[in-house]
Structure 1
Amino acid sequence: MNVALRRVIIAVVIILGLSVAGCGDRIDRAMLKQANTALKAGNMKAATDNTKKVLQKNPRNLLARRLMSKIKGRLIDEAEASVEAKKYEEAVKKLEMLLELDPQHEKGKALLATAKKNVLLAHAREALGRDDSIAAFQDLKEALRLDPQFEEAKKLQVEAEQKAQEKIANLMATSQSLIEQEKFEELRKLSQDVLAIDPSNLEAQQLLAETQAQILSRSKEENLEMARKFYEETKYESALLKAEEVFKVDPNNAEAKELIQKSKAELTKPDLRLTGLSKLKGRANAHIEVPSTRERFTVTEGETFLGEGDFKVLAIDMDLRAVVVSYVKTGSQQTIFLASENLGSTPGSSP
């Protein structure tokens, strides 16, 4: 490549680069113009979003940095005005937006704590107004965490505690009636409500423990009964699930263990197919196949077959062309009829 051609190529590349950069600058300027217009209109979100996009592409963009500084200044000014006007929820929104832009903004963090504690105080007053001392107590606890010297919250907490104790007394008074009616779910909620107000209440702690035990016991018995029912209905997957639920809360439950073992055995039990019937020296024989393994057995009444004697022949009915077998692992019985394709090809009899 000669020198002149090389110079032409370099010049073209430089021009294209400048063109692309100029295009990018125009887009950035347009976005910043939109951001500035949004800021003037009070649309802080649009102003913030556009400015952030420009800064993400070019963190050194002086115009974007100046505009972001102006946005943060506007947010803190408006938040202060909202706090002075006691519009605390409005202030929280603006301050959260500010701290998303600048997490280390000290004035913003301090003002947010002030706004939040007052929002919580207002919520606590509303809760007491609707006789929800639990919610009031929790809101005041959080407000005092933000400012342990918050006098208004301290005063309201005294009132909330008084109403809470009254509520505890009323709740505990109804507990005996619920116990007699065996309404254990309601008892659990009652004791949890009491402990939400007073975590150290020993009576409620004991009531909760006893109630939980009753609920578990009742749930265990219900699951065990359902496991039995499903097993009897040959719904072995459902029986297994219910028996395992019992086993989780009572690993020593012998019936649950047995149901689990039997259900698993039934679920893995191989299918059997009766392929023929015959008589040899006056004794009926059944010709049985295991389709999954193609194993074949010729057995008489009382004989066991497959594996370690997994199945036992209980009866052979030549007239019905069927055989009754027992699954030794579980004791379940099944009647197998001669496969339709073998009806005309039953092995013959021998005298």
Structure 2
Amino acid sequence: MDFYQADPTLENYWRGVILFGRNVASYKFALAHALYEVDKSGSDLVTLEELAVPFSRHLCQHLLHAPKQITSRGSQFLDTCVQFNNGELTQDTLTETTIRLGFNNVIDAFHNVNAGEIEKRFFLDERKTHKGIRITDNFYQLSERQQYQNLAFETNARWNLVEQAWAMGVSRNLVAIEFDEQEKLLFSHVNTRRVNITSCRDSLNGYQKGRCFYCFKPISLVPADTELADVDHFIPWKARDEVANINGVWNLVLSCQCCNRGKAGKSSHLPSRKLLQRLHIRNEYFIQSKLPLHETIVNQTGTQPAQRIDFLESNWARAKNNILFHIWEPKAEGEATF
């Protein structure tokens, strides 16, 4: 997959797992969150008992608003989590069941992406010898990287999106992910009811590798951070009468504040054709990521790559010719990786 091959940093290998790994259960997301909470100053051996508490806690929290956390018909482990949420079981019972049943498949499958294992492992399976996993230098180094603070936000957003797809039954009812400009949220409709899914910033950031779409300056998801990303319409909102579904995910990108609002920034200008090609590549990451962004992009832009390219080209040309936009390109602040 060219996502992390084009930019083989540790954070992008990690994002490969979170964004592109096969999802038949939400356990991978819960394990990722548990690893974020590992004591980085302690032993590199983390026992299943130590993992069980944060792992089960995140699953229990998600079960409160999303009962479907697995694609199979049932799970004894998830039944135990539901019982705990209902006050029918103690924490000790939940922890014991998590140790016995919760990690059966997720530890083996965590590093698998596109039917193969990624080149960088973040932990080693030592359940048979030491009843736990051993954190590798890769994970410790990842935790020291600038982008590490964004990963928990990205993981939770991806988890929320997958939950919504399962809840709606993607095979029967393709999910249409929409954008609320005022709230900066992604949402969908179930029958006539609106369902808020997750933060737009948190959902998009991983696919842009934590960088401004335009200049590749690092951006942040941390609230109140001075580098907090802006959500921007690639084809400006001013063209909404010329471009159908301008609020679609296909047209949303994350930008640093300088590119979006600065004196030399994009403002209401139209990004160049070179940047339009970058938008296509970013949208193809959505396609590779499968449900529900795959289904949304296909519905919005076309079933085949050539159709999706034509969709972008025609809308870009319509905006350029009918609105008479000035064409804009940023000053590069980092190396382009897509």
TM-score range relative to shorter protein: under 0.3
Structure number with the bigger relative contact order (C-alpha 8 A, sep ≥ 6) is: 2
Which protein is richer in helix relative to its size? 1
When normalised by structure 1's length, the TM-score is 0.20
TM-score by length of 2: 0.21
